[in-house]
Amino acid sequence: MTSNASAPAGPGRYKWIGKPVPRKEDAALLSGRAQFIDDIEPVANLKHAAILRSPHAHARILKIDASRARALPGVTGIVSGAEVAEITRPIPSVVKTAIAYYPIAVDKVRFVGEPVAVVVAEDRYIAEDALDLIEVAYEPLAAAVDPLRAMEEGAPLLHDELGSNVAHRRSFEYGEPDAAFDGAEHLFALDYRFPKYASTPIETFGVTAHYLPSPDRFTVWSNFQGPFVLHPLMARALGVPGNRLRLITPPASGGSFGIKQAVFTYITLLAAVSRILRQPVKWTEDRLEHLMASSSAADRVGRVEAAFKSGGELVGLRFNNICNMGAYVRAPEPASVYRMQATSNGCYGVRNIAIENILVVTNQMPTGLNRGFGGPQFFFALERMMDLAAKGLGIDPADLRRRNFIAKDSFPYLCPGGSLLDSGDYTKALDECLRLAGYPELKAKREQARKAGRLFGIGFAVGLEPSGSNMGYVSLAQTAEERALAEPKSGANSSATISMDPTGSVTVQLCSTPNGQGHATVAAQIVAERLGIEPDQVDVVTEIDTQTSAWSIASGNYANRFAAQVSGAVSMCADKVADKLKLIALEILECDVRDILLADGAAQIAGVPEKSIAVRKLAAAAHWNPVAMPERSEPGIHETVVFSPPTLTSVDDRDRVSSAVTYGSVFDLVALEIEPATGRVSVDKYVSLHDVGTMLNPLIVNGQIHGGFAHGFGCAMLEEIAYDANGNLLSGTFADYLCPTAADIPALTIGHLNAPSPMSELGCKGLGDGSSMLTPAAMANAVADALDMKEVELPLNLHRVWQMVQGQKPVPASALAPTEKKADAVVAPGPGVLSGEGETVIAADRETVWRTLLDPDELAAVIPGCEKLTEQGPDRYAASVTIGIAGIKGGYEVAIELKDKVAPESLRIVGRADGALGHGSAEGWVTLAPAGDGRTALSYRYNARVGGKVAAVGQRMLGAATRILINQFFNGLNRRLGGAGQRSGGGGPIGRLIAVLAALFGGGSR
Amino acid sequence: MRRIGGNERHRIELTVNGRSHAGEAEPRMLLSDFLRHRLGLYGTHVGCEHGVCGACTVIVDGRAVRSCTQYAIQAEGATIETVEGLADGERLNALQQAFHEHHGLQCGFCSAGILMSAVHFLKENPRPSEAAVRDMLSGHICRCTGYDGIVRAILDAAGTLKDQTKETIGE
């Protein structure tokens, strides 16, 4: 491949391809006219579903009593997991294990948010009301949350039938890694953790399922993004042949980044519900449901080792990948860990690589596609290692990479794992990146900053962007023997259909289910180019309807598939249409077919533009006058191309496979400074240089790079799906799961050095994921450089960086020891536990306060939202409390026990609460002391642990809600005791505890 | 103040984009749901229902508000502007056109709310700096664009876009 990587699609060659054409999608989207899934009600008499979800990380379902819910007016049906399991089959994954995955819990719940029952009602509000009326008896079980702890002997088992939480383990060797390590002069190793995060599209999941009997037939509208390899799995689960599961996507989809692959679980669930209830059912996911139970990237605990020769030559790599799959290995996982395997040399010429992949199940949300899919984790390991080794070897990190790059004249390059790299000039690209960044100046700046005692760092990350996935690569999860027993899998079918109606207008149908990437615009550019018409004359249908579209298993929007593959199918299909138009024109123009060109809306003889015939006339002839059609031509104009790149063969017997068709590359450099007092990271310079091959539309290319960068930056700095050690979700709102805003994203300099790909029809390479894969590693490298630290944990939020500045090693909350559940619900302080203390002065003497606090009637009057408080026995109370905060109302049953009572001085209170919005336990200590003038000083402290929905809404919201309730209680108490007290902390014992417990449950999502 | 029972539907009359509308809603019905499912104005989108993502932003009596954290009944008699009212017939207004030209949207789901916030913001700040625009946008989450095109579009619509080329579209 030529080193000067300018695209042949220059301004001179093409009229439309390669031009920054603004998008045809925009007008509808900007005017509020675009149709998203929640905007359509495609069936009459549609009912609305809400899903009851597990508040427990791990529990047995003992009993579900839906009788009260069923009786609620407007409820039209309720379906439990057991009922769904009766009429469906589990959905398999490529990893053959004893795990049975259903889209709803059957006898056990395995993560907070797992569906337990589905309510269907006349509207969504009623359906959600009914959720509160379903009573589920759970037997809570100890949870396995941290992947390393889950692997330990004696860890709680998620799937008893599996006998372990390790679902899969495979080792691979490419080349001779042991020999390479033995013969190397320098060895480096790095242990790391990569966090669990998710791309969180702003539009959530939406599904409308419609079942019709005799024979069973499902029609499901959803914002599913593919891959449609999941279609046969869904059909199988629902027990129908593929042609009786009709999937339809709407015209617009509000982002996905891979996540909407997981819509397939709800397609299956709602289809089953529709069948059981014989009602068409619509469901729209809410944000809390999305953050707790949709899908996420697989977090990883890993170790990477590297062997270098003395000159800095990288001769060996070892990867140990412990991948947290969440509660199930859910298709298409474990693809995330196998996606990068064939390319695990990165941009480097290293030939000896050892890999061990371990899949662990834990009590967390299952994983799936997410922007970069496996790339961010992989490049974090490899590129952290390169910066680390550069430091150890005393070689500039840019130079170390240069010394190891695959040479520009080696393409196509066969990687040890089997990937066939298409083109590139990595050295030149890196040099261009350094030039754009002003690398020498940045190094001088770092020098100066360090002299002044400031924390300034520079980080690199370079990598490949495998695009257009081989449907066969996931078979790496199977042994050669297992693969021999299965049908071989390879390729990546892409299709496009183009028709021209009798007036000459063009309709293109795509199989790429875009979620905002502008496929319609680019397809119109390509077709306009090929047919010599204007893009405005080309209508592009991006909706898939499996009953009418030319789809195949690879259809969908993932792995940068559009540019790498679909654009080629569109171009080839347009060529077929062009050929036909030329053939028809031939009869009229009477010339050699090779002399005909399509331009300006007409077929012309090259060089004789006055001899031409309008394209619309050719189209009319094809429809109106088939008798006169040239030989071998079918009447009408309707062409479909289905195409699969020939390089995408099956996994061979040595576990090698070319996992993708094009391999763009990304070269990132970041310089940043850390404020030691706060841990704040300020980016000084960020340059990202890309090789995307031929650019089809530079406006869209750079938009994708900006977007991918924002995802990578969010992962690096802010985003984390957090669990406590007991499996309670701590990040259920956008106030807790922090996405970067416009104020957080630093300026990005984008550069291009584009080497056209010989593997794709138009020379373009897939793009969009690249920066999401590299930015986390680059940011971590720069922070490591600034702090001169080896191990750096993401996300690099204020707290973590501050800890690192202090020389501490941050540990994620999920990796801490789980708290033991004792019978009397004593809660030990620690992460995830709400603790507090305070003092208040009450205008009554100690005995009066004591009596009031122990009198159920008195208390019921002052506790906010208390409907009933009854004495259950000596020092045992039960209360029904309804608390509404900001329009969010929930009812709770609170059980209280008083212990260690020393009248009228002190007592300890132990309580438990259960409600539709969550569960929890708390322990409080209260002391009363005389405060003079007949007043009493009441002091208290408490620890509370909450689970379910309420834990997910985060401490900041709970704290505010709690304060409001404390004030209410305090005012009520003082009114009751007839005096004005002075508050210095606020609260009282039982009521205080009830208020705290209730507050913890008050903050649901709706 | 009139008291309304929890399950009682109340007739709400309001003006949206210059047209009077009426619909019935229970007191607990959110304004976002009312606009979408009662009035059929699906251009306003719902992204989080807890007031953080900003997708549902509309202008109520001259103020940009989150329609997901307001009840429909609170908007009784109000004058509301939504994304459907921005274009002049088929013609995009200057702000919409700037979003189109600067690729300030990809999936377009968050755009309605961002546009409405920007309309309100530009009324108060006709010549904003980039920092001010970014500060305003911090009340919105866009997962597609990385905000670059959005910031440029708003600055361009305000006439304050400096030609500071941050990108080199190479070769």
pLDDT in tens, A684-713: 999 999 999 999 999 999 999 999 999 999
Which chain B residues are closer than 8 Å to A886 by Cβ? 69
Nearest residue to A401 (alpha-carbon basis) of A667, A623, A688, A66: A667
How much is the pLDDT for B171?
34
Contact between A666 and A462 under an 8 Å Cβ cutoff? The reply is yes
CATH number for the domain whose boundaries are A399-470+658-812: 3.30.365.10
ipTM associated with this complex = 0.96
Q: Note the pLDDT tens digit of each residue in A446-456.
A: 999 999 999 99
Residue A114 predicted with pLDDT over 50: yes
**B-interface mutation test, from A6, A23, A202, A745, most B Cβ less than 10 A away:** A202
Distance from the A555 Cα atom to the nearest Cα atom in chain B, whole angstroms? 19
How much is the pLDDT for A879?
85
Contact between A135 and A68 under an 8 Å Cβ cutoff? The reply is yes
Distance from the B140 Cα atom to the nearest Cα atom in chain A, whole angstroms? 7
Distance from the B42 Cα atom to the nearest Cα atom in chain A, whole angstroms? 6
Sorting pLDDT into bands at 50, 70 and 90, what band is A2? very low
CATH number for the domain whose boundaries are A493-557+565-643: 3.30.365.10
Looking at the partner chain, which of B55, B101, B171 has a beta carbon nearest the beta carbon of A202? B55
Cβ B83–A31 below 8 Å, yes or no?
yes
Q: Note the pLDDT tens digit of each residue in B95-114.
A: 999 999 999 999 999 999 99
Domain B94-158, classified CATH 3.10.110.10, yes or no:
no
Name the residue with higher pLDDT: A862 or B86.
B86
Helix, strand, coil percentages (3-state) for chain A, rounded to 5, are 30, 30, 40
**A-interface mutation test, from B69, B74, B109, most A Cβ less than 10 A away:** B109
Chain A residue with CA closest to B152: the answer is: A742
CA distance A751 to A244: 48
Nearest residue to A645 (alpha-carbon basis) of A477, A423, A422, A337: A422
Beta bridge partners of A459: A670
Consecutive H or E run containing A458: strand A455-469
Which chain A residues are closer than 8 Å to B100 by Cβ? 22-23, 26-27, 30
- The CATH H-level (homologous superfamily) assignment of domain A833-1002 is START domain (3.30.530.20)
One of 3.60.20.10, 3.10.20.30, 1.10.3720.10, 3.40.50.150 is the CATH number of B10-85, namely: 3.10.20.30
Contact between A949 and A1004 under an 8 Å Cβ cutoff? The reply is yes
Interface of B with A in 48-107 (CB under 8 A): 48-50, 52-53, 55, 69, 71, 82-84, 86-87, 92, 96, 99-101, 103, 105-107
Contacts of B54 (CB under 8 A, 6+ apart): B47, B66, B110, B113, B114, B117, B139, B140, B141
How much is the pLDDT for A832?
58
| Beta-sheet pairing, B79-81 with B10-16 | parallel
How much is the pLDDT for A941?
79
Which chain B residues are closer than 8 Å to A287 by Cβ? 47-50, 53
Contact between A405 and A798 under an 8 Å Cβ cutoff? The reply is no
Contact between A997 and A987 under an 8 Å Cβ cutoff? The reply is no
Chain A residue with CA closest to B131: the answer is: A743
Contacts of A519 (CB under 8 A, 6+ apart): A510, A512, A540, A542, A557, A562, A566
How much is the pLDDT for A979?
53
Q: What's the N-to-C CA distance of chain A in angstroms?
A: 57
Name the residue with higher pLDDT: A988 or A805.
A805
Which chain A residues are closer than 8 Å to B134 by Cβ? 741-743
Which chain A residues are closer than 8 Å to B109 by Cβ? 36, 201-203, 252, 254-255, 516
Residue A632 predicted with pLDDT over 80: no
Looking at the partner chain, which of A27, A432, A742 has a beta carbon nearest the beta carbon of B92? A27
Q: Note the pLDDT tens digit of each residue in A960-996.
A: 666 566 666 666 766 777 554 444 333 344 555 555 5
Residue limits of CATH 3.30.530.20 in chain A: 833-1002
Q: How many other CB atoms are found less than 10 A from the CB of residue A487? A: 6
**B133 in reach of chain A (CB within 8 A):** yes
CA distance A659 to A342: 6
Which chain B residues are closer than 8 Å to A27 by Cβ? 92, 100
If you average pLDDT over residues A294-318, what whole number do you get?
97
Sorting pLDDT into bands at 50, 70 and 90, what band is A236? very high
**Least confident residue range of A461-470, A817-826, B8-17:** A817-826
Q: Note the pLDDT tens digit of each residue in A469-521.
A: 999 999 999 999 999 998 899 999 999 999 999 999 999 999 999 999 999 99
Q: Categorise residue B61: left if φ over 0, alpha if ψ from -120 to 50, beta otherwise.
A: left
Work out how many CB contacts closer than 8 A connect A with B. Answer: 210
Residue A880 predicted with pLDDT over 90: no
Interface of B with A in 105-124 (CB under 8 A): 105-112, 115
Residue limits of CATH 3.90.1170.50 in chain A: 35-373
**Mean residue pLDDT across chain A:** 90
Residue A892 predicted with pLDDT over 90: no
**B45 in reach of chain A (CB within 8 A):** yes
How much is the pLDDT for A831?
55
Q: Note the pLDDT tens digit of each residue in A262-289.
A: 999 999 999 999 999 999 999 999 999 9
Chain B residue with CA closest to A286: the answer is: B48
Cβ B47–A749 below 8 Å, yes or no?
no
How much is the pLDDT for A982?
40
Residue A335 predicted with pLDDT over 90: yes
How much is the pLDDT for B162?
81
B69 to A205, B32, B48: CA distances (angstroms): 21, 8, 10
CA distance A1006 to A606: 66
CA diameter of chain B: 68
**A-interface mutation test, from B41, B143, B145, B164, most A Cβ less than 10 A away:** B143
Token pair, residue A864, equals: 């906010």
Residue A795 predicted with pLDDT over 70: yes
HSE-CB for A447 with a 13 A CA cutoff: 6
Contacts of A401 (CB under 8 A, 6+ apart): A347, A348, A386, A426, A430, A460, A462
Residue A4 predicted with pLDDT over 60: no
Cβ B147–A710 below 8 Å, yes or no?
yes
Token pair, residue A716, equals: 């690096």
Residue A1001 predicted with pLDDT over 50: no
How much is the pLDDT for A1006?
27
Which chain A residues are closer than 8 Å to B53 by Cβ? 202, 287, 734
Q: How many other CB atoms are found less than 10 A from the CB of residue A915? A: 27
If you average pLDDT over residues A924-952, what whole number do you get?
81
Cβ A30–B86 below 8 Å, yes or no?
yes
Q: Would you say the CATH fold of B94-158 matches that of B10-85?
A: no
Beta bridge partners of A914: A893, A919
Sorting pLDDT into bands at 50, 70 and 90, what band is A152? very high
**What radius of gyration, in Å, describes the C-alpha atoms of chain B?**
17
Chain B residue with CA closest to A691: the answer is: B170
Cβ A707–B135 below 8 Å, yes or no?
no
Cβ B87–A31 below 8 Å, yes or no?
yes
If you average pLDDT over residues A80-84, what whole number do you get?
98
How much is the pLDDT for A813?
75
What share of chain A in percent tops pLDDT 90?
A: 75
The string of DSSP letters for A499-550 reads EE-TTS-EEEEESS--SSS-HHHHHHHHHHHHHTS-GGGEEEE---BTTTS-
Read off the DSSP letter of residue A244: G
Beta bridge partners of A469: A660
How much is the pLDDT for A833?
67
Q: Note the pLDDT tens digit of each residue in A416-429.
A: 999 999 999 999 99
HSE-CB for A419 with a 13 A CA cutoff: 29
Q: Note the pLDDT tens digit of each residue in A753-775.
A: 999 999 999 999 999 999 999 99
Residue A746 predicted with pLDDT over 60: yes
What share of chain A in percent tops pLDDT 70?
A: 91
Chain B residue with CA closest to A700: the answer is: B103
Q: Which residue has the tokens 């490949």?
A: A464
Sorting pLDDT into bands at 50, 70 and 90, what band is B152? very high
Residue A10 predicted with pLDDT over 50: no
The string of DSSP letters for A275-300 reads HHHTS-EEEE--HHHHHHHT--PPPE
How much is the pLDDT for A237?
98
CA diameter of chain A: 114
**Mean residue pLDDT across chain B:** 92
Domain boundaries, given as residue ranges, for chain B: 10-85, 94-158
Read off the DSSP letter of residue B39: T
Q: Residue A517 — φ and ψ, nearest 5°?
A: -90, 5
Contact between A775 and A748 under an 8 Å Cβ cutoff? The reply is no
Distance from the A240 Cα atom to the nearest Cα atom in chain B, whole angstroms? 33
Please, what is the Cα angle at A770 between A248 and A442, to 5 degrees? 150
Nearest residue to A470 (alpha-carbon basis) of A602, A376, A588, A561: A561
Name the residue with higher pLDDT: A369 or A587.
A369
Chain B residue with CA closest to A753: the answer is: B170
Q: Categorise residue A632: left if φ over 0, alpha if ψ from -120 to 50, beta otherwise.
A: left
Contact between A115 and A294 under an 8 Å Cβ cutoff? The reply is no
- In CATH terms, the fold of domain A35-373 is Aldehyde Oxidoreductase; domain 3 (3.90.1170)
Looking at the partner chain, which of B115, B138, B144 has a beta carbon nearest the beta carbon of A707? B144
Cβ B168–A254 below 8 Å, yes or no?
no
Residue limits of CATH 3.30.365.10 in chain A: 399-470+658-812, 493-557+565-643
Helix (H), strand (E), coil (C) string for A549-568: CCCCCCCCCCCCHHHHHHHH
How much is the pLDDT for A829?
58
Cβ B107–A254 below 8 Å, yes or no?
yes
Query: Three-class SS of residue A255?
Result: coil
CA distance A157 to A73: 41
